[in-house]
Each structure stands twice: as C-alpha cells, then as structure tokens.
Amino acid sequence: MTSYASRSNHRLKASLSDRRQADCSIRKNAASCFIGSFVLAALVCAAVAIVKCPVTVAQDTSAADEMRAGVLAYKFADYAGAAEHFKAALTLKPDLTSARLFLATSYAQQYIPGDESEANVAMAQQAIDEFKKVLKDDPSDQERYKSVVPLASLSFNIKRLDDARSYYEKAIALKPDEARSYFMIGLIDWTEASQARAKAKSGLALTEGQLISKPDDCVALRTQNQQQVEDGIQRLQKAIELQPDYDDAMGYLNLLYRERAEYECDDPDARKADLKAADDWTDKAIATRKAKAEGTALEKPAPTSKQP
C-alpha cells in the first residue's frame, strides 16, 4: 500500500498541472493566474460603463479618458502602460475607486508567480498595497470581492499563508457558493501539514515513502497537524459539494487523507481506512479528469473535408 500511495501521490501531483482555472497554486500559484481572467471582464464592463454612464466621471472628462486608455492598454496586455493611465486617472479624480482597483490589478498582472526576486516581490507588494486601499474606501461588495480574492492569491504566492487564509475566508463570507475559495483554503491546510510532516520525517531519518511507526512520534505529529488536516478535508469536501467535478479538490483530498494516515500508527485500522480513502479519491480524480478531457474532445467540431 505504501508504494502505491507514493506512486499515486506522484501521479496526481504530476497531473494537477492545469492551474489556469484550478490550482495554479502549485506550479504557477493559482491565485495570480486567476486574477487576469477574473478582472478582465470587469475592466471591459467598466469601459462600457464609462461610455454609457458619464455620470460616474462626467465631472472630469480627462479621468474618463485615462480610464478608457488604461482599459485598452490592459486588454492588449500592456499592464505597465495600463497602470500609468490608472494612476493618472487617480491623480485627476482621487476618489475613483474603480481606477484604484484596476491599478492594483495591473500591478498584479506584472507579478510572475514563482519568481522570488526582490523586484518581482516588490511588484506583488505594490498590488497588495493598492488592493488594501480599495478596501479602505468603503467599496461595494463587488469591489470588495474583487480585492480580497487577488489579495488572497498574491499572499499565497509570496508565502504569506496566514494572510491568504484570512482573505479567502473573507471571500467566502462575500460569496459562500464559490468553490474555489474553499479549495484554496484546503490547499493551504495541506501545504502547512505537508511541510510539518516532511520536517518531522527528516528529523526521524525517514524517507518520503516511509510511514511513521513509533506511537510517540505519531502523537507528536498528530498534535501538530490534526487541525489543519481535518479543516482541509472539510474545505475540500465543501468545494466538491459545490462543484461535483472539481478534480483538483479530489486530488488534494487524496493527499490530505494520506497526511492523516501519517499520524495514525497507533490506530492501524484508521490508517488502513484513510489510505483506502486516499486511493479512492485518486481514482475519482483521474476518472473525472478523463471524463472532462473526453467531453472537451467531443465538443470540438469535426474537421471539414477539403473539396477537390
């Protein structure tokens, strides 16, 4: 069972690679990947609103012009140029919350997940600072949500896990039916638990594939990890309840059940049951992913034959 557990872990970790809409967090760190698709629609809608609803910025046409120019630059992926336009709009109209939100988003788009250089982290911090300013400006619930989600994402990417958890909790309070926020908190729980387990095993001179066998060591790890593991399982189950085909959540349920089995050496039956549950979730994740791929293939139009 142990060798299969290690093999299925590897298989799932390797297969959880499509992070654009799911768990960018492991390879590209989810949240940043999510920001672009999440806010682009809002930017386009804002551009339309500026044109159709001049009351919003009619008192200062120049601010409206800067907003339009910023949206256009953003749509063409000129995020640095977009940021300059949104800053100019704020200079002309400091209380324009939408400009502040779009400025923050433009900074966030310039952040590169996984790059820990000082300049890159500073870019993330610029985005965080601007999103926080949005939250201080008595924003609408929609503007608040569009700030807390990127704040959570950026915090996760730069390894501020407590901040990320807090912001995802706020996102859930605003949109309790959004599966992704539950998934991300479950991912944070797994990240913390797996790091603690790896450290404990290293101290015991155990390899990744070896389960802890001494009861005292199991008790010590359980004391440290149980809360994160149980919370993580609940969060991922909620994500699947909201989105039944959430294969990435299934994959991490597999990993969390294995984390629980790690500290159950004093209860062999519980360990056996959790490893079995982990295997089951592995199979469900793979089957769901396969069904999605087949469904996508069926949706593609058949190639047209060329006439001679």
pTM of the predicted structure, to 2 decimals: 0.78
pLDDT given for residue 300 in this prediction: 62
pLDDT given for residue 147 in this prediction: 96
pLDDT given for residue 298 in this prediction: 63
CA distance 214 to 112: 43
pLDDT along the chain (308 residues), means of 10: 42 39 38 47 46 41 89 95 95 93 96 95 97 93 95 96 97 97 98 96 92 92 96 98 97 97 94 97 96 77 49
CA distance 190 to 16: 15
